[in-house]
Amino acid sequence: MAALAYNLGKREINHYFSVRSAKVLALVAVLLLALCHLASRRYRGNDSCEYLLSSGRFLGEKVWQPHSCMMHKYKISEAKNCLVDKHIAFIGDSRIRQLFYSFVKIINPQFKEEGNKHENIPFEDKTASVKVDFLWHPEVNGSMKQCIKVWTEDSVAKPHVVVAGAATWSIKIHNGSNEALSQYKMNITSIAPLLEKLAKTSDVYWVLQDPVYEDLLSENRKMITNEKIDAYNEAAISILNSSIRNSKSNVKMFSVSKLIAQETIMESLDGLHLPESSRETSAMILMNVYCNRILKPVDGSCCQPRPPLTLLQKLAACFFTLSIIGYLIFYIIHHNAHRKNKPCTDLESGEEKKNIINPPVSPLGILLQSFCKLGLIMAYFYMCDRANLFMKENKFYTHSTFFIPIIYILVLGVFYNENTKETKVLNREQTDEWKGWMQLVILIYHISGASTGAFEKIFSLWPLSKCFELKGNVYEWWFRWRLDRYVVFHGMLFAFIYLALQKRQVLSEGKGEPLFSNKVSNFLLFISVVSFLTYSIWASSCKNKAECNELHPSVSVVQILAFILIRNIPGYARSVYSSFFAWFGKISLELFICQYHIWLAADTRGILVLIPGNPMLNIIVSTFIFVCVAHEISQITNDLAQIIIPKDNSSLLKRLACIAAFFCGLLILSSVQDKSRH
């Protein structure tokens, strides 16, 4: 009864909701989301730097996620490379001094927080000619104004970046009086034109004051309240933003530190200064704001402009546009011809004359339709992967984000089971099932942030790198090859043994029959289970990754062979398969390729965000569209293969020669464009 109910329910679902209707729904979702994001960019602005400087949230305890973009964590070498021959100046009070220390430690982690607190602190890295100075000006007064005024003179060398901010000192020494706030407004009004003038040649950031934890403040700081800080911040924002009439101020507000402080100020030691982790986050944001547009890191989408269209992208756009136009013309002509051939009614007899046969589907029509669909899909790829239309966010790993989806797909895989058409070892349904669950595990591994880079690097030979703009290196290929260098030989040996046993009629591959005799089957099953568990325990408890990588090529065959035997020795296990996993297995290649462009971001380092503010709903919608696109690409490539690859050998060679010439032409064009860039 349960099986009957399941089959009836399945038919009912398929009657109302098919793969085709799912793809139509996905297309509608893409169009609506694209329009929403376009409207958002139009009315809220398209500058990700503003979002980086003003908004964000914590994904975990110490992982900061800016709104709509990804933040790169700069290494020492990257920071030095970006800041070579640069001069950065921090001017302000003790809070700015802390930010200065955190910024310098990105360049030199050994730099110690020494020196007098109320004096200027210089830093210079001679290897990269980087100069970073802290200038002690705890109040917005004549002293700070004179310092900034000197930089505005044409004959004086100006810092490339100026980070300024002050307020708490004024609140403290004037006991939080209203007169001090009025004086602060007057002083900041007097330096606003100077900051604006300096901002024309340098990057100028005004750091808004972070909130305090009033319960931890010492007695001589009790007058520094969050109410006073808000008043000073409002004064700074209104004056600096209105320093230029009818145009946008060039002085950028660094207000994101306020959001960071709201979450972490409770960890402060004195209630005034932020904990080190928060200061490091603010310093890294500054580094991203300045360096992302220079170094263009893959996983740092904040403050990066949309890359210009390459020659190959323009040619591809022209090709797919012509394909769409050609398909529309073909459809109109074919539709008109079909209308002329429609059955008509005989006026004398009143009977309908029917056509003898329906016209066959034209290969040209299938070809144009396939290219038309592929062009639309490539446009979506470009919107997700290259254009700044959709948002991108960093990944953050938790055990629940990895194991809950794994358990969920496992339950679905077990629930959707059917009988196999054949019961041979590693039959087609079983291998599709195997590819399916492995691909789903890899996808969850990537989307949950559990990956450590094993699937992220792409090795590419020079022609492929030139033609498709891939950044690869020989070391990555060498590392991957060494991990699986014996796989082909293991597979050949297994196939030889299997065929030999099959020829000698040792195997029993009937439905429900064990593969060997009962004693041999039970013995091999026991050995397989023990081997599988032993290898799993060894791999999970591996302490030295280098040693495990050395042993992996030789011993991985044990676990694979154990899994094959466990899956195929019992007759009942060999006779059923998971249709859920097998369905995904049939499009596993498309899923693996598409994930880099329309599901994840920055070569799996981030996540594509179609619906901001709701991570769960975003994953559901983006996954639905991603799977529909992968399935459609599978069908398109299958249709194209049927047309482009003929059965005749001579025709096949001619077409292969044409395809080779086509890619050689693309390679030459790409090389010419690359030379013109440099």
Tell me if 468 sits within 8 A of 311, measured CB to CB: no
> Is 203 designated active site?
no
Give the Cα separation of 100 and 273 in Å (integer). Answer: 13
CB atoms within 10 A of CB 189: 15
Residue with tokens 């899994």: 563
* pLDDT tens digits for range 188-210: 999 999 999 999 999 999 999 99
* pLDDT tens digits for range 30-64: 999 999 999 988 888 778 899 999 999 998 777 89
Pair of tokens at residue 456: 């992220």
* pLDDT tens digits for range 417-472: 999 998 899 999 999 999 999 999 999 999 998 864 333 333 333 444 444 444 55
Class for the domain spanning 51-295: alpha beta
Q: H/E element holding 568?
A: helix 545-568
Spacing of C-alpha 61 from chain mean position: 21
Select which of 54, 94, 465, 575 is catalytic. Answer: 94
Q: For the whole model, what pTM was predicted?
A: 0.85
Query: Which pLDDT score, from 0 to 100, does residue 11 have?
Result: 52
Give the residue ranges of DSSP H helices in 448-514: 462-468, 474-483, 487-503
Query: Which pLDDT score, from 0 to 100, does residue 458 have?
Result: 33
Give the Cα separation of 661 and 667 in Å (integer). Answer: 10
Pair of tokens at residue 563: 């899994």
Give the residue ranges of DSSP H helices in 55-155: 76-82, 94-107, 142-152
Query: Which pLDDT score, from 0 to 100, does residue 289 have?
Result: 96
Select which of 37, 87, 273, 446 is catalytic. Answer: 273
Mean pLDDT computed over 64-69: 90
Select which of 118, 270, 517, 651 is catalytic. Answer: 270
> Which amino acid is located at 309 in the chain?
L
Mean pLDDT computed over 83-104: 96
> Is 273 designated active site?
yes
Coil, helix or strand at residue 394 = strand
Domain boundaries, the chain: 51-295, 649-678
C-alpha count within 13 angstroms, C-beta hemisphere, residue 326: 17
Pick 493 or 476 by higher pLDDT. 493
> Which amino acid is located at 670 in the chain?
S
Strands in 25-114 per DSSP E? 56-58, 64-66, 87-92
Mean pLDDT computed over 478-485: 78
> Is 678 designated active site?
no
